[in-house]
Amino acid sequence: MRDHAREATTFIEGLSRKDLDGDRVLVLALSQLLQIVGEAANRISPVFRESHPELPWQQIVALRNRLIHGYDAINLDVLWEILTGDLPPLISALDLLLER
């Protein structure tokens, strides 16, 4: 989860939201990375997820499902907000979790 989330954030370093509009390959790559993050979260045991409620497990899996099933209707504003607003704290939380 962490590695793919981190990779997604590196893909957007130095970019702006508008850069997504003109780069279909970037949007597809970012969507795929977020799908992988969600799939990885889904594979974590329920016991482990319950013992770490500080992570938004359900939202991560739900994002994966939306990207997989709604691939033709990805809202780039929402995608950008997830990439810039949600992923950095998730990566930090995963870093802490993996350090333990």
**Do residues 64 and 35 touch, judged by C-beta distance below 8 A?**
yes
Tell me what pLDDT residue 71 has.
66
Mean pLDDT for the stretch of residues 54-59: 93
Q: What are phi and psi of 46, to 5 degrees?
A: -55, -35
- Residue 24: pLDDT over 80: yes
Alpha helices of 1-100 — where are they, by DSSP H? Answer: 2-11, 17-21, 24-43, 46-51, 57-69, 76-81, 87-99
Mark whether 64 is an active-site residue: yes
Average pLDDT, integer, range 12-29: 95
Q: Is 6 marked active-site?
A: no
pLDDT > 80? residue 73: no
Full residue range of the structural domain in which residue 92 is found: 2-99
φ, ψ of residue 19 in degrees (nearest 5): -65, -25
Q: Among the options 2, 24, 43, 64, which is catalytic?
A: 64
Q: What would the two tokens of residue 60 be? A: 């991560």
Whether pTM > 0.85 for this model: the answer is yes
Domains held by the chain: number: 1
Q: Considering the chain, what is the average pLDDT of its residues? A: 93
Arithmetic mean of pLDDT, 91-96: 95
